[in-house]
């Protein structure tokens, strides 16, 4: 089946100025950027701490860890079958 071209309207040159925003390749070092980076680092640290807390909680659950080990072995076997 041949592809059908969509009709396209040809643009005509315009005398109107087109607004353009000049963007620098040099990263900005404004205080708001530094504040954002500090908040982002804090968020990432809080998120990592939650992950570590959950991991410790999971490690102490023997039944869950047995299920995790079984699942990991199943996935490992599936990967060995592929490779």
pLDDT at residue 67 greater than cutoff 90:
yes
Residue 74 and residue 67 in contact, taking contact as beta carbons nearer than 8 Å: no
Output the pLDDT for position 68.
Answer: 96
Q: Model pTM?
A: 0.49
Q: Where are the domains of the chain?
A: 35-82
Tokens 């070092």 correspond to 29
pLDDT in tens, 24-66: 776 666 678 889 999 999 999 999 999 999 999 999 999 999 9
Residue 58 and residue 64 in contact, taking contact as beta carbons nearer than 8 Å: yes
pLDDT at residue 15 greater than cutoff 90:
no
Output the pLDDT for position 1.
Answer: 58
Write the DSSP string, 18-80: PP-----SSPP--HHHHHHHHHHHHHHHHHHHHHHHHHHHHHT-HHHHHHHHHHHHHHHHHHH
Output the pLDDT for position 19.
Answer: 81
Rounded Cα distance, 83 and 78, in Å: 9
């Amino acid at each position: 089946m041949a592809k059908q071209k969509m009709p396209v309207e040809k643009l005509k040159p315009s005398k109107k100025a087109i607004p353009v925003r000049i963007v620098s390749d040099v990263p900005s070092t404004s205080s708001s950027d530094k504040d954002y980076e500090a908040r982002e680092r804090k968020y990432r640290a809080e998120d990592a701490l939650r992950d570590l807390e959950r991991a410790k909680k999971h490690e102490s659950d023997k039944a869950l860890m047995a299920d995790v080990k079984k699942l990991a072995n199943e996935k490992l076997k599936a990967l060995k079958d592929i490779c």
